[in-house]
Copies of this chain bind each other. A is one copy, B any other.
């Protein structure tokens, strides 16, 4: 058994060097959704492979896929110890609306202890924590208490269409005793957090084509079906006036949250008033459920984008030929994204009126996931976080989606440790995305201690 006593001083010693490395990583605009950024995505993968090697991995590889590549790395110097698989993603969200950023999204900058850059919290900064945890062990002791395998994909922000295929091709390299992911948030500053539930997602685009060209709304309005108005009617038909989603069959597979878990949530430091104030809104969606339950354990229907007709300054009296909406539904256990997408498509085909042609495109989907808080691996992670942050760990769920988590659990039969170092107000997917620098370093310590706690827990079994 190795000794973690030197870990804190190694982290302190490497502080500036590791921040400089992270800055380099964040400067690469690896936007997976943008076909013009393919080379930058590749550059981020190459950079990361080299860094995994210098952190201590003795095996590294770039695995090609039909889309962006997967970065693999492994240190296997503890043959009798368990193996931890670190999953993360080096791709990032688009930067727009870029004019709302306080500093350029790909020029990292620290202000008031926060590191501002696209990808800082989601997920480059968080995945890098685990590379540095391995490096901390290597520098402190020349070894690591567990074997560590990295599986870092480049398509998480487009729904992870190819990583599951890579996993299937490389089951031998990836076989593991625990999975750890840092792509979630702490519940509040100073509150180390494990996430034992995630929502899934079904994301679709609807395109309506009305007349074969844009028309003068005076000459044609009143007779010709307006695709923008029709789209509004169809979207509005997806929820009733009480906020309940009206897609037939939508709630069929929704599982109730265990009563004790829901009870624990009521003790978390959360105030509807403060939440509303932080968003500058006077009300939330009316619901019979608490706000946390709405966010973590209830499914949603959201419109993510709308485009039709004339959208510039001034007025244009056009009856538009086309209208487009992007919609997504967040799902909870045991909703299945394919079944929900089927139900949505069937409902849209049922209600679309004559006079327009409809095309529905499935953009991506992911399964919801949840795990028991009492599992020994989650308990080991809980102890590691308490050591790294010096505070008691809380268990929460999250409203976001990480499609691969459910897949990895199915494949390896182990729960994923969702060890998040982000904070709720760090603007993932929005302008001014940032990461608390203190949490980055406490995260490295926690991840290092997790390797030790897991080794102890397994050897004690």
Contact = CB atoms under 8 A, between A and B. Distances in A.
Contacts of A215: 279, 429-430
A434 interface: no
Interface stretch (A51-59, A124-132, A398-406): A398-406
Nearest to A354: B283
A424 B223 CA distance: 14
Contact of A217 (B34, B302, B354, B356): B302
Given A217-B304, A221-B330, A282-B355, A33 B314 contact: yes
B96 A295 contact: no
- Mostly, the A contact residues are loop
A364 B283 CA distance: 32
Most buried by B among A215, A217, A226, A325: A217
Contact of A222 (B201, B299, B317): B299
A70 interface: no
A104 interface: no
B236 A233 contact: yes
Contacts of A217: 300, 302, 304, 328, 330, 429
Interface in A126-159: 158-159
Nearest to A230: B303
Interface in A272-327: 275, 279-285, 287, 291, 294-295, 298-320, 323-326
A430 B216 contact: yes
Given A226-B302, A295-B219, A315 B311 contact: no
Contact of A400 (B100, B219, B309, B313): B219
Nearest to A122: B216
A299 B34 CA distance: 43
A229 interface: yes
Contacts of A213: 100, 279, 427, 430-432
Nearest to A299: B222
A429 B291 CA distance: 47
A68 interface: no
A284 B216 contact: no
A448 interface: no
Contact of A309 (B232, B239, B304): B304
Interface in A227-278: 228-229, 231-233, 235-237, 239, 275
Contacts of A229: 235-236, 239, 301-303
Most buried by B among A213, A222, A239, A400: A222
A298 to B, nearest CB: 5
A211 B211 CA distance: 35
A205 interface: yes
A174 to B, nearest CB: 26
Interface of A: 33-35, 93-94, 96-97, 100, 158-159, 185, 199, 201, 203, 205, 210-226, 228-229, 231-233, 235-237, 239, 275, 279-285, 287, 291, 294-295, 298-320, 323-326, 328, 330, 353-356, 363-364, 398-401, 424, 427-432
Q: Top 8 closest A-B pairs, CB basis?
A: A218-B400, A283-B354, A236-B236, A33-B314, A228-B303, A232-B235, A305-B309, A212-B280
